[in-house]
């Protein structure tokens, strides 16, 4: 053990590491890896969105402060584990939630508060652009937010000089470059699979819109430059190093890989970047990514978003705004009960017991049905969030059934999108899943396999998440050999010794979910009525 610890300490002191930082929905996480992409240390800063002025948003000052505090926790973890000071990085990568609207004027001033992916306020723009392009534009996408602002005659749109994502914003703070990974850029504006850049035909159609032309908005002037995985995207400046580490310990100069979205880092973290591979990421939102072998028959389907891998290959994305938030709220309820009764139970232990109980419930959750929509859910045609729990008159009312219902519902809307893909002839051999919900072994993995009726694999790194994936992307930029693709690097370097488990769908679980889904569909009618 001492030899391993000493080797890691030398790696850190030599600056042979790669660092990934991801700004997720509920936390900012940093993961430091060694030359073989094994995690060495981590840091975490908790944060949360707020609903202000009709929009879900985060204060960018919190993002900057959270970066420093997250990095501070990473430094402390390195010191505690290895007894050395973190001063030098081999490579660095930033990732964050995709989509949304961050618009700046020509002096770099933020024009309106950050509008996140969670907002469903651009329906008119999304519908018009989808029709104009012959290509589905989700409400979350940056171009939909921009065009909605144009349609609404918002005063700021005439001053937009630059737009980016949250990852692109932080990347620019660290190195000064206005760039994005092709994967993150594909959530701003459609990408041409051949050029791996913004689709020129659609750029022309957008700029030809009378209102857009009148404002002088030119896509290639205001959107970030597109880069692919493996390309260098800048160098850490002195100002960027001080932003991360205000103590001044961190040396400037390390290379940065292209800033990526959380969908792209999820693909890397699950080794799902080659055709016919797929992954599921489960957090505040839940989404599946299926790497395509060819173009979709119907690129206009409202259930499917066409994005790309970090290398620029086409991906069918099923994005659900809601996944684990309502589960967290129920667990919080039980935790508050424990405190009321004077019990001391850690959150991890509570999750473990509650999840374990779910497998003891009836396969259909015993007559309980949960609709976990904290916010709007476009895939289910639900316009506003109203979490709902429904019980059949003779149904069970116990913790086991409650948790099984909650976990199945977290994945239920994903099935809707996967059925749409299957109808277009798109199949996947298995899904690799990651996210905190899979930290408790077997439970969520088994129920996800039942919901999607597809084998589900969970790797031992499933809990590391997108920060680890972006650290791997930084390592790929630093260490790839000539002509080595991202998929090959993952197979030959990162996952060559990885361990994981695959669960095939259990027939009883599948039948139970089928019965559950019929109740779920009926409950959606009530949720839609609540938002009317």
Q: What is the rounded CA–CA span in Å between residue 87 and residue 245?
A: 9
Whole-number pLDDT of residue 296: 85
Token look-up 């990852």 returns 167
| pTM across the whole model | 0.87
Number of domains in the chain: 1
- Mean pLDDT in the chain? 94
Q: Quick one: DSSP state of residue 380?
A: G
Percent of the chain with pLDDT over 70: 99
**343 is a domain residue:** yes
First to last CA, the chain: 61
Phi and psi, residue 416, nearest 5°: -60, -45
Whole-number pLDDT of residue 463: 62
CA dihedral for 366, 367, 373, 376, sign (positive or negative) = positive
CB distance 23 to 70 below 8 Å = no
Task: Write out the two tokens for 119.
Answer: 């907002």
**452 is a domain residue:** yes
Q: What is the pLDDT of residues 173-230, one digit of tens each?
A: 999 999 999 999 999 999 998 999 999 999 999 999 999 999 999 998 999 999 999 9
Q: What is the pLDDT of residues 134-174, one digit of tens each?
A: 999 999 999 999 999 999 999 999 999 999 999 999 999 99
What is the β-pairing status of strands 456-459 and 500-503? antiparallel
**32 is a domain residue:** no
**62 is a domain residue:** no
Q: What is the pLDDT of residues 462-514, one digit of tens each?
A: 666 789 999 999 999 999 999 899 999 999 999 988 778 999 999 999 999 99
Tell whether the model's pLDDT for residue 295 goes beyond 90. Answer: no
Q: Which domain holds residue 350?
A: 325-368+375-460
Whole-number pLDDT of residue 417: 92
Whole-number pLDDT of residue 374: 92
CATH code for the domain of 430: 3.30.420.40
| Lowest pLDDT segment from 203-207, 299-303, 318-322 | 299-303
**442 is a domain residue:** yes
Give the burial string for 374-404 (b: 16+ CB within 10 Å, else e): bbbbbbbebeebbbbbbbeeebbeebbbbbb
Q: Quick one: DSSP state of residue 381?
A: T
**15 is a domain residue:** no
Whole-number pLDDT of residue 99: 92
Q: What is the pLDDT of residues 424-462, one digit of tens each?
A: 989 888 999 988 899 889 999 999 999 999 999 998 766
Q: What is the rounded CA–CA span in Å between residue 424 and residue 123?
A: 25
Percent of the chain with pLDDT over 90: 84
**394 is a domain residue:** yes
Angle formed by the axes of helices 507-530 and 399-423, nearest 10°: 90
Tell whether the model's pLDDT for residue 3 goes beyond 90. Answer: no
| Lowest pLDDT segment from 193-202, 270-279, 516-525 | 270-279
What are the distances in angstroms from CA 80 to CA 6, 11, 75, 461, 470? 13, 16, 9, 22, 24
CB distance 314 to 295 below 8 Å = yes
Beta bridge partners of 179: 225
**424 is a domain residue:** yes
């Amino acid at each position: 053990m001492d030899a391993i610890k000493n080797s890691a300490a030398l790696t850190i002191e030599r600056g042979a590491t790669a660092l990934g930082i991801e700004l997720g929905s509920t936390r900012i996480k940093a993961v430091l890896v060694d030359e073989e992409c094994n995690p060495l240390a981590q840091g975490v800063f908790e944060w949360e969105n707020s609903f202000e002025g009709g929009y879900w948003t985060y204060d960018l000052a919190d993002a900057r402060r959270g970066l420093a505090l997250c990095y501070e926790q990473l430094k402390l973890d390195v010191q505690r584990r290895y007894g050395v000071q973190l001063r030098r990085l081999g490579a660095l990568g930033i990732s964050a939630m995709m989509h949304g609207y961050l618009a700046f004027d020509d002096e770099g001033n933020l024009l309106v508060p950050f509008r996140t992916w969670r907002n469903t306020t651009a329906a008119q723009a999304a519908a018009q652009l989808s029709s104009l392009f012959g290509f589905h534009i989700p409400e979350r996408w940056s171009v939909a937010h921009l065009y909605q602002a144009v349609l609404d005659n918002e005063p700021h749109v005439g001053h937009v000089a630059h737009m980016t994502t949250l990852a692109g914003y932080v990347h620019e703070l660290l190195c000064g470059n206005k760039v994005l990974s092709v994967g993150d850029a594909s959530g701003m504006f459609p990408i041409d699979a051949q050029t791996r850049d913004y689709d020129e035909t659609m750029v022309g159609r957008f700029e030809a819109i009378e209102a857009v032309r009148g404002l002088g908005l030119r896509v290639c002037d205001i959107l970030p430059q597109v880069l692919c995985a493996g390309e260098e995207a800048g160098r850490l400046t002195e100002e960027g190093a001080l932003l991360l580490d205000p103590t001044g310990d961190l040396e400037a100069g390390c290379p940065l890989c292209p800033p990526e979205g959380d969908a792209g880092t999820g693909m890397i973290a699950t080794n799902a970047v080659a055709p016919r591979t797929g992954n599921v990421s489960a957090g505040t939102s839940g989404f599946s990514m299926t790497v395509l072998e060819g173009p979709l028959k119907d690129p206009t389907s409202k259930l499917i978003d066409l994005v790309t891998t970090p290398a620029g290959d086409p991906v069918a994305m099923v994005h659900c705004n809601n996944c684990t938030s309502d589960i967290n709220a129920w667990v919080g309820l039980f935790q508050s009960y424990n405190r009321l009764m004077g019990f001391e139970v850690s959150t991890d232990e509570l999750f473990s017991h509650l999840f374990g109980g779910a497998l003891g419930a009836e396969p259909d959750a015993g007559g309980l049905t949960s609709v976990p929509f904290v916010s709007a859910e476009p895939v289910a045609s639900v316009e506003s969030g109203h979490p709902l729990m429904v019980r059949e008159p003779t149904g069970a009312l116990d913790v086991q059934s409650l948790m099984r219902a909650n976990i199945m519902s977290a994945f239920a809307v994903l099935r809707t999108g996967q059925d749409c893909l299957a109808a277009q002839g798109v199949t996947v051999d298995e899904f690799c899943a990651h996210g905190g919900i899979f930290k408790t072994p077997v439970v969520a993995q088994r129920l996800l396999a039942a919901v999607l009726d597809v084998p589900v694999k969970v790797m031992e790194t499933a809990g590391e998440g997108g920060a680890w994936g972006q650290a791997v992307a930084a390592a790929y930029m630093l260490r790839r050999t000539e002509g080595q693709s991202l998929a090959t690097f993952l197979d030959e370097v990162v996952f060559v010794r990885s361990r994981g488990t695959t669960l095939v769908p259990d027939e009883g679980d599948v039948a139970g979910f089928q019965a559950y889904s019929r109740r779920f569909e009926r409950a959606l009618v009530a949720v839609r009525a609540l938002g009317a």
